[in-house]
Amino acid sequence: MGLFDEVVGKLGGMLGGGEGEGQGLLGGVMELLTSGEGGGLGGLVQSFKDKGLGDIVSSWVGTGENLPINADQIKEVLGNETIANLAAKFGLSPEDLSAKLSEFLPGVIDKLTPDGSIPEGGLLEKGLDFLKGKLG
């Protein structure tokens, strides 16, 4: 499972280390990506497309350079309620959470789609479960 170890390591570094807030926040993102409510990774990607941000999210899934996203765009896609719930869970303001998500969500999605496409079915879920286990 080298890919998933790499994702955990890189994301831990992006969040300022492997402990505390960073790991909790990464766990929240993994929850978001595996949540049945939002349709998982595919549903999240579709939400970006529905909000007119298809080229941005497609750059993360694709194999080229990742386009940046800002905190306001993250809020627009995820919605104020989701942002507020995650922020409260991790003791952050909604603004701080959105800013952190804008920094590392492109990298998370990029690493989870190394072949330039969203993995089908069980492989992605197993990988995300593995990541959650590494954080727990």
State the Cα–Cα distance between residues 51 and 1, nearest whole angstrom.
34
Tens of pLDDT along 94-116?
999 999 999 888 988 888 888 88
pLDDT at 63 over 70: yes
pLDDT higher at 58 or 43: 58
Domain CATH number, residue 105: 1.10.10.690
SS3 64: coil
Say how many domains are in the chain.
1
Give the range of the structural domain holding residue 104, as residue numbers without chain letter.
2-135
- The length of the chain is 136
State the Cα–Cα distance between residues 57 and 81, nearest whole angstrom.
21
DSSP secondary structure of 77-135: HH-HHHHHHHHHHHT--HHHHHHHHHHHHHHHHHHH-TTSSPPPTHHHHHHHHHHHHHH
Question: Do 83 and 74 form a contact (C-beta atoms < 8 A)?
Answer: yes
